[in-house]
A and B are shown apart, each in its own frame.
Chain A
């Protein structure tokens, strides 16, 4: 939007026709395609009569499994958006040698800012939160999370944030400041447009959603475990979920406060981070990274948990060094808060401070190393099955070690002075985030998909997807390490150094290979859905699993377990299978009871609707609409609080009917399987 052309005092605040970028074809076409896509899906849903089903079974659902699936769906869609941004950047840098390329600077700046923001907040976060939601209550042997309706609210607020970011494509602009919007660039004087406001309000709204999810999952793990599920019997994924969500609860309020300060500067002329009147820019750096560094562990710890489950299952062994793994997880959880300053070694903290934070940053690599060795020793001597999830796990170990080592390298302050803000750094954090978080998310997706939907994913396409993504990753990011060593800084819209050019071209080719990997993954989904009857898993235990999520059917009934499982050790389900085999199953029919489950509620969706209105109105200074949105959100909660029935009963007969089918399949499985 052309800056300064604002129409104050009208009904629509700063919003007018100049907000729509008619002169820029790329965002307009992209926006148009998205709009047509959304409309087509909506029309299809309405015409086919799926709307009531969607509304009752998904949109208003408070079932943790459904919410988990919706989180993952949101993350997958946003992965395509963020990936498109990445492709555009790689193409730009491949051709913008001694020329302007095809993206004008102000558009290129929006793209790299949107890419980072989307990939962290709307891909990685919802993906891991989705997997945690889907699996953790099942692994703990309980029927739901601690606060089911709030869970729905959290998801829909995250979706609101994603919606606002995408809206910026066609109405107004996105931030041009990088994904963390450092002041003074992000202050009103240097970024007068609505881009930073889109950025900040999307993150504020989705941040509330994330906090809600964090509170919910911490409470679930600490207070809702089935009988006998002592802390040191929890599956590793539950431990990493606990650590990750403790970090969310402790770190996300810092982000909220920091962005609130930035917004106060921008909206009301405060002086937190301005150059004038005593504002302090370095305070922003400290605050944002006090959230930002724990954030990387919020993302990667759940991935560590997923790999622990996958490696142990497909090696046919209990996890090696379970207790050291727990200790390493909690050590990372604590040290995560003690390293934030390594993000700005070059900004004048002095040698003593830099040395302390450099050493702390190296120390945090130790528990991570412990984990790597534990996974390797779990595999050692095991009967390894190289299924798709296991491929992602092994690919992760190789990739993450390289990323970790370059991380230890930049943790040395003198080296960091050379490499700060270079393409080397870009390569490093993609190395750990793609190799750690994304590979972990994909491993979890492949591993738990049969649990969520009752059929496996096609292995052939899955393996193709892995090999293309794995190869594509190296072809894309190794050249960026080299370019960084050659002195190339990050975020360049064009450049004149001939030595960098070949590496940028190789990286663009790598991006193409990566894209083939993504296409394979989509193909895998399509092929698997088409062949779902052949891929059907009737036992609920397709991988010969070890933890309680495999002890119920696939997909699990809404109440997860007909009886709260009674846990007597680690690898609870594995023990059950072993002893069931030894004793031959007792064929007595258990006595079923009525089960109370929380009723569905549109609270989350309605609340997010008002949050969207409020967020949009705040971005465009449409104050009456802000008030309207606020009143709407409050009224939604009052209506929710006023309802008289918050639970419904599933009669014992229905529970029995559902459970019998699964029990029968399971008996067949146990009696047939001599191998387990």
Chain B
């Protein structure tokens, strides 16, 4: 627009604070996408924080049912944690492979990530199934309600992540490392790492604190 090429003088620095750094204009698409996804992740963490809060409120409400220390198996949780932490590493490897456009290492990194995620899910599912079969399902007490919801919510996120991961692999297979595919890969990696961070919270608040009581 022709009129934009004019000298603005009003209000550029009304209080004489000093040099005004001019905003350079809209950010590149990669930055915008990653930024937006970060904002989404923050909102997701707020949602988790509600389940953490609910767990903290209800943890002692066992209604004569089992306490945490009676049902948690530390060996399983340790394996789960190792799986998830390792998967974050392999996910990082896949991200690097995508950045350097190396298909082999990308597929390998993603496949191992997927495998570790599935192992995590299987262990968690068996833990849940075992509890339910012993009569300690989520309807047993408010404590178990909060436990199943918090851990299950994380598990649902991991399941969604695995689905996304497989879709991502299929997309790289079909479309190659296009710019939009790489942006999605970046979002997936952020998502997967965020789940790891949340698991650290779950591990500490639920299993570590719970085992002692």
Contact = CB atoms under 8 A, between A and B. Distances in A.
B199 to A, nearest CB: 18
Interface string B43-83: 11011001101100110011100000000000000000000
A218 to B, nearest CB: 5
B139 A219 contact: no
Given A283-B54, A562-B1, A642-B171, A567 B8 contact: yes
A215 B3 contact: no
Contact of B32 (A223, A261, A585): A223
Interface stretch (A110-118, A264-272, A492-500): A264-272
A233 B58 CA distance: 48
A642 B175 contact: yes
A4 interface: no
B213 interface: no
Interface in B3-33: 3-12, 14-15, 20-27, 31-33
B36 A579 contact: no
A197 interface: no
A254 B47 contact: yes
Contacts of B63: 271, 276-278
A364 interface: no
A270 B149 contact: yes
B171 A211 contact: no
B-side interface size class: 35 or more
B143 interface: yes
A219 B35 contact: yes
A576 B138 CA distance: 64
A226 B26 contact: yes
B142 interface: yes
Contact of B47 (A256, A583, A586): A256
Contacts of B9: 568-569, 575, 579
Contact of A268 (B39, B42, B57, B139): B139
Given A249-B43, A551-B3, A268 B11 contact: no
Classify the interface of chain B: helix, strand, loop or mixed.
helix
Given A568-B8, A569-B12, A229 B138 contact: no
Contacts of B40: 211, 215
A231 B20 CA distance: 11
A227 B141 contact: no
A579 B7 contact: yes
Interface residues of A, number: 81
B141 A268 contact: no
Contacts of B22: 227-228, 230
A311 B1 CA distance: 27
B145 interface: yes
Given A252-B43, A642-B174, A570 B10 contact: yes
A309 interface: no
A215 B26 contact: no
A222 interface: yes
A512 B39 CA distance: 45
Given A219-B32, A272-B142, A551-B1, A571 B61 contact: no
Contacts of B61: 271, 277-280
A453 B1 CA distance: 21
B25 A225 contact: yes
B154 interface: no
Nearest to A219: B36
A283 B55 CA distance: 11
A568 B5 CA distance: 10
Contact of B6 (A261, A272, A579, A644): A579
B180 interface: yes
A568 B54 CA distance: 50
Contacts of B143: 278
Most chain B Cβ neighbours within 10 Å, of A142, A224, A257? A257
A224 B32 contact: yes
B167 interface: yes
A422 interface: no
Contact of A575 (B5, B10, B43, B47): B10
B141 A230 contact: no
Nearest to B163: A634
Contact of B138 (A142, A269, A566): A269
Contact of B43 (A231, A253, A579, A588): A253
A165 interface: no
Interface string B165-176: 001000100110
A182 interface: no
A230 B7 contact: no
Contact of A278 (B33, B58, B175): B58
A287 interface: yes
A586 B6 CA distance: 10
A631 B95 CA distance: 28
B103 interface: no
Contacts of A227: 22-25
Contacts of A551: 1, 3-4
Contact of A270 (B1, B145, B163): B145
Given A287-B50, A666-B3, 6 more contacts: A146-B32, A223-B27, A230-B22, A230-B23, A254-B47, A571-B11
24 contacts: A147-B33, A215-B40, A218-B36, A225-B26, A226-B26, A227-B23, A253-B47, A254-B47, A254-B50, A261-B50, A261-B54, A277-B145, A278-B62, A287-B53, A287-B54, A565-B4, A568-B6, A572-B8, A574-B10, A576-B4, A578-B10, A579-B9, A583-B6, A663-B1
